[in-house]
Amino acid sequence: MRKSYGTTLAVEHIDLDIAKGEFVSLLGPSGCGKSTTLMMVAGFEVPTAGEIHIRDRRVDALPPEKRRIGMMFQSYALFPHMNVTANVEYGLRMRGVPKAERGPRVQRALDLVHMQGFADRAPRQLSGGQQQRVALARALVTEPDILLLDEPFSALDRKLREELQREVRDLQRKLGITTIFVTHDQEEALLMSDRVAVMNEGRVEQCTRPQNLYGAPATSFVAKFIGRGSFVDGTVRERSATQSLIDTAIGQATITRPQEAAPGAQVRIFFRPEHARLVESTAAAEPGLSFPATLRSLYFQGATTMAEMKVEVSEEPIVVDLSERSQLHTPAEGDRFTIHVPATRIHVFPAMGE
Partner 1 sequence: MSESSGKSRWGERVLNGYVFLMTLVLAFPLLVVGLISFDTAEYINFPPSGFSLKWYRSVVENPTFMLSLGNSLIVALASTACALLIGVPASLVIARGRFPGRDLLYALCLSSLTVPWIVYGVSLLFLWAVLGFNLSIMTLIFGHTVIGTPYVLRTSVAVLADMPPVYEHAARSLGASPLRAFWTVTLPLMAVGIRAGAAFAFIVSIVNIPISLFVTTAENITMPVAVFNYMQYNFDPSVAAFSIIQMIIIAFFIVFAVRAARSGGVS
Residues that bind partner 1 (CB under 8 A): 42-44, 63-66, 69-71, 73, 75, 77-82, 90-91, 94-95, 138-139, 142, 148
In the complex, least distance from residue 26 CB atom to partner 1, rounded to whole angstroms: 17
- DSSP string spanning 199-264? EETTEEEEEE-HHHHHHS-SSHHHHHHSS--EEEEEEEEEE-SS-EEEEETTEEEEE-S---PPTT
Nearest CA-CA partner of 289 in 349, 230, 240, 227: 230
In the complex, least distance from residue 149 CB atom to partner 1, rounded to whole angstroms: 12
Q: If DSSP codes are grouped into helix, strand and coil, which group holds residue 186?
A: helix
Cβ closer to partner 1: 70 or 234?
A: 70
In the complex, least distance from residue 45 CB atom to partner 1, rounded to whole angstroms: 11
Q: Which sign does the torsion angle of CA 188, 194, 200, 201 carry? A: negative
Cβ closer to partner 1: 80 or 302?
A: 80
Cβ closer to partner 1: 19 or 94?
A: 94
Distance of alpha carbon 203 from alpha carbon 6, whole angstroms: 11
In the complex, least distance from residue 292 CB atom to partner 1, rounded to whole angstroms: 55
In the complex, least distance from residue 298 CB atom to partner 1, rounded to whole angstroms: 44
E strand or H helix at 299: strand 288-300
For 36, 180, 229, 332, the CA distances from 118, given in Å and listed in that order, are 34, 28, 47, 56
Cβ closer to partner 1: 81 or 158?
A: 81
DSSP bridge partners of 199? 204
H helix intervals, 176-315: 186-192, 210-215, 220-225
Distance of alpha carbon 285 from alpha carbon 290, whole angstroms: 10
Which phi and psi (to 5°) does residue 35 adopt?
-70, -40
In the complex, least distance from residue 69 CB atom to partner 1, rounded to whole angstroms: 5
Question: Terminus-to-terminus CA distance in the chain, angstroms?
Answer: 32
Which phi and psi (to 5°) does residue 258 adopt?
-65, 140
Distance of alpha carbon 206 from alpha carbon 215, whole angstroms: 13
In the complex, least distance from residue 345 CB atom to partner 1, rounded to whole angstroms: 44
Distance of alpha carbon 249 from alpha carbon 314, whole angstroms: 8
Beta strands in 88-163 (DSSP E): 146-150
Cβ closer to partner 1: 37 or 248?
A: 37
In the complex, least distance from residue 95 CB atom to partner 1, rounded to whole angstroms: 5
Cβ closer to partner 1: 139 or 168?
A: 139
Are 86 and 79 within 8 A, CB to CB? yes
In the complex, least distance from residue 67 CB atom to partner 1, rounded to whole angstroms: 8
Nearest CA-CA partner of 74 in 160, 186, 154, 179: 154
Beta strands in 18-129 (DSSP E): 23-27, 50-54, 57-58, 69-72
In the complex, least distance from residue 59 CB atom to partner 1, rounded to whole angstroms: 13
Cβ closer to partner 1: 79 or 300?
A: 79
Cβ closer to partner 1: 41 or 226?
A: 41
Cβ closer to partner 1: 91 or 234?
A: 91
Cβ closer to partner 1: 1 or 322?
A: 1
